[in-house]
Amino acid sequence: MQLKGRHLLNSTDFSVEELYSIIELAQKIAKKPEDYSEKCKGRIMAALFYEPSTRTRLSFEAAMKRLGGDVIGFPEMSTSSESKGESIADTVRIVACYSDIIVMRHHVPFVPHKISEHIRVPFINAGDGSNQHPTQTLADIFTIYKYKKKLSNLKIGFCGDLKYGRTVHSLIKTMDRYENNIFECISPDCLKIPDDLRREIKSPLRERECLEDVLGELDILYMTRIQKERFEDLDEYERIKGYYILTKEKMENAKEDAMILHPLPRVDEIHESVDDDPRAYYFKQARAGMYMRMSLILHLLGLN
């Protein structure tokens, strides 16, 4: 089955049925990766990252190479013709001449959406400023489904930076499409979920400031870091950094089958002592992202 549409720009671009098909293929790849090692032989992926990235960039590159394809891109954007004054749109159009699929991250919201209008090859939004991060959401829902065996009837806590956190914005929109989910949005007042997003969500959504008040009720806790790079006023960042820190002691109040997720990187919001807790899934979540991106590439190229 090939997905409708050629691009992935928003976390809700694919139907619920399509998301299940991507998850199903990712499960097959994870179970027997050798069966897919030459699926993209002769294909080229362009990775255009205008913002720093570790997990997303490397997992996309690993995904394409594990599928037998090749990857092109710039070691840093200053080495491209953008330094000569070329527009981003022109750069991406040129790159599309040399590649079969393009992955792009940009620090300005909606830039990938605008660029995609000019691109004929499949185009993937790997994060656009504080707006969305749809492929991280694929990693998130794959992890949840793999270990919870469901995507509905869950109480999910989103904790930390809910204002600028594009991973939160994407995931909450996606999980809102499944039945009987409840969202607990935990943040300081200055980092609350945006009003327009809150109005868009149909599932029950509660806002609170204290993590301890709800930790024992959560099936999933999605921790996020306070993003220094999103603040214009660094004094405000200094004031609220370290506002939430999940510790081994606090985990004593969490449910026995709770899942702790984090899109990473972390700063200090999850203490390293939590890493050995069997309820800590964030490193498994990172590996799941590679398999989901392998599945996504195959779907968009029609090779599944």
The DSSP annotation for 121-179 comes to S-EEEEEETTTB-HHHHHHHHHHHHHHHS-SSS-EEEEES--SS-HHHHHHHHHHTTST
Tens digit of pLDDT per residue, the chain (304 long)?
Answer: 333 347 999 888 999 999 999 999 999 999 999 999 999 999 999 999 988 888 899 999 999 999 999 999 986 666 666 656 778 889 999 999 999 999 999 989 899 899 888 888 999 999 888 888 999 999 999 999 999 999 999 999 999 999 988 899 999 999 999 999 999 999 998 899 999 999 999 999 999 999 999 999 999 999 998 876 666 676 766 677 778 999 999 999 999 999 999 999 998 999 999 999 999 999 999 999 999 999 999 999 999 8
- Residue 256 contacts residue 277 (beta carbons within 8 Å): no
State how far the Cα of 60 lies from the Cα of 77, in Å rounded to an integer.
Answer: 18
State how far the Cα of 169 lies from the Cα of 100, in Å rounded to an integer.
Answer: 29
As given in the structure block, the two tokens for residue 37 are 């090692």
pLDDT given for residue 4 in this prediction:
35
As given in the structure block, the two tokens for residue 294 are 């392998």
pLDDT given for residue 222 in this prediction:
98
Q: 4, 31, 32, 84: which is the annotated catalytic residue?
A: 84
Rg (CA), the chain: 19
pLDDT given for residue 3 in this prediction:
36
Q: 56, 137, 143, 224: which is the annotated catalytic residue?
A: 56
pLDDT given for residue 75 in this prediction:
63
- Residue 30 contacts residue 284 (beta carbons within 8 Å): no
CB atoms within 10 A of CB 133: 26
pLDDT given for residue 225 in this prediction:
86
* Bridge partner list, 103: 47, 124
State how far the Cα of 266 lies from the Cα of 176, in Å rounded to an integer.
Answer: 25
Q: In 3D, which of 13, 236, 228 has the Cα closest to residue 116?
A: 13
State how far the Cα of 266 lies from the Cα of 282, in Å rounded to an integer.
Answer: 10
**Which domains are seen in the chain, by residue range?**
7-132+289-301 (3.40.50.1370), 134-286 (3.40.50.1370)
Catalytic (active site) residue 55 = yes
Q: 133, 155, 166, 299: which is the annotated catalytic residue?
A: 133
pLDDT given for residue 86 in this prediction:
78
Q: 105, 106, 155, 262: which is the annotated catalytic residue?
A: 105
Catalytic (active site) residue 133 = yes
Q: In 3D, which of 101, 97, 100, 103 has the Cα closest to residue 74?
A: 103
Q: 6, 28, 43, 55: which is the annotated catalytic residue?
A: 55
Q: In 3D, which of 166, 150, 168 has the Cα closest to residue 219?
A: 150
Catalytic (active site) residue 56 = yes
